[in-house]
Amino acid sequence: MTGAAPRRAPPLLRVTQGGLRAAPLSALVALVPAAARADACATARPFWDAGTGHATILDEALHFAASPATGGLLLATALAWRLRSARGGLAVVCGWSLMAGIIAFGRTSDAFGVSQSALEQGCVASPALFIGVVAAICIATVLYTAPDTGRSNTQE
């Protein structure tokens, strides 16, 4: 038995004539997060009913607009506009930007892919409309609360 080559473990991916074929162990490993993703809609949107159809971009915008953080930021924005406070405007623009950043990039930190699975199942839609409205609010706040520089439109 000294001349026999030691037996190697099978590779995780095998190249065959039909393409790549995964080993059974890797198939089992791939199924582990599937249990977490199976109830993605129950986790992401507990009150969503599959009979109502896929969530639309308007549904997602209304979902984010109904949050308490949005209500607080709207009140703070209205106060900054009423007082024409540049510092207050800066504070609410930072708040809106933080909220939009969490909404936009919070989905990528999902370890088990629950948010991606919920997007595929249709209970979550793209937050692009809400983020666009937030951007418009921020632009309007900066322009409205900016201090008057005292320049005139006439050139001498």
The structure's pTM equals 0.69
pLDDT string in tens for the chain (156-residue length): 566 666 665 555 555 655 555 445 444 445 545 544 557 888 888 888 888 888 899 999 999 999 999 999 999 999 999 999 999 999 999 999 999 999 988 866 676 777 888 888 888 899 999 999 999 999 999 999 998 877 666 665
Q: What is the rounded distance in angstroms from the CA atom of residue 13 to the CA atom of residue 93?
A: 50
Task: Return the H-helix or E-strand segment holding 110.
Answer: none
In order of 96, 99, 131, 135, 136, the CA distances from 144 in angstroms are 16, 21, 20, 14, 12
Residue 13 β-bridge partners: 22
- What Rg value do the Cα atoms of the chain yield, rounded? 26
Neighbours of 40 (CB within 10 A): 22
Token pair of 127 as six digits: 């937050």
Cα–Cα distance measured from residue 106 to residue 84, given in angstroms and rounded to the nearest whole number: 32
Q: Which amino acid is at 142?
A: V
